[in-house]
Amino acid sequence: MDKIFFTKAITRLPGEDFANGLTTSGLGLPDLSLAVNQHTEYISALKRLNIDVDVLPPLSGMPDACFVEDTAIVTEETAVITHPGAVSRTGETDSISAVLSQYKSVRRINGKGATIDGGDVLLVGDTFFVGISNRTNRAGMDEFAAILTPYNRYKFVPVEVADGLHLKSGVTQIAPYKLFITKELADNPAFTPYKKVIVPDGEEYAANTLLINGTLLMSGGFPKSAQVCKDEGCKVIVLNMSEYRKMDGALTCLSLRF
C-alpha cells in the first residue's frame, strides 16, 4: 500500500536460495552477500525516517519471500492477506499473517480462483488502483474490494498492466496526488485526475519509488529519474537495488508499511 506517513514496516531477509526465485529480468544470478548488504541499507534508510522495522528471518524453501509486499495489503482498518498469483509463493502468506496479527485484524483473500499481489495495489488518497496483471485478476480485485467496502471510504479502479510485473513497476506516488509514471501508463484515463511526472526513457525500472514520511526512496543507477523527482521538490534518498532488480524486485517489494 502507498500512503505518505508510516510508523511501522515489516521486512524479510533474503535466504540462501534467493537466486532460485522467479525472474524474467535476464540480468543474471544475484549475489546473495550483496543482496543482504543492500537489504541492510534499505532497513537503515527506513529507520532514519522514523520507521520501527521488524526484520523477519529468511523463509526456508520460499526464495521470493523477501518480497513481502506481495503477501498482504495493509490499511488503517485491517490487513488483507493476499492470494499470490504465482503458485510457488502461496506458502508465504501464513507466516506474514501471523506477524501482522500482532498489529492488525487480519482478513484473507480466499475465493476460488481469486489472485492478487500487493505489488499490484497502489493507494492514492482514498483510491485503490489495482493492476490487472499476470499476478492479479478481477476476482482478486473484487474480493479485496468487498473486504474494504464496508468501511465506506475507498474507491477501487482497475488498471490493465501490459508491461512490467506489477502495477507499481510502472507507477508510484511521489507526493500527494503526484505520480511518477511510465509513458506506457501515462495515457491511461484512470490517472487523469493526478499530476503525472514521466519516467525518462530507458529508466523505467526507476518508476518504482517508495514515499516514506516526506522522503522519496529511489533506486540507484538512474540519475535522470532522480533529478526529475528532485526538480519536483522531492527529498530523495538513492539506494542500490541491483540484486533485487535481477529477481524482478524493487523498493516497494521489500516491505509492508503501515
Active site residues: 166, 253
What proportions of the chain, in percent to the nearest 5, are helix, strand and coil? 35, 25, 40
The beta-carbon contacts of 149-155 under 8 Å, at least 24 apart in sequence, are 151/77, 153/126, 154/126, 154/127, 154/128, 155/126, 155/127, 155/128
Answer yes or no: are the C-beta atoms of 32 and 14 closer than 8 Å: yes
Cell digits of residue 81: 492477506
Cell digits of residue 107: 482478513
| Three-class secondary structure of residue 127 per DSSP | strand
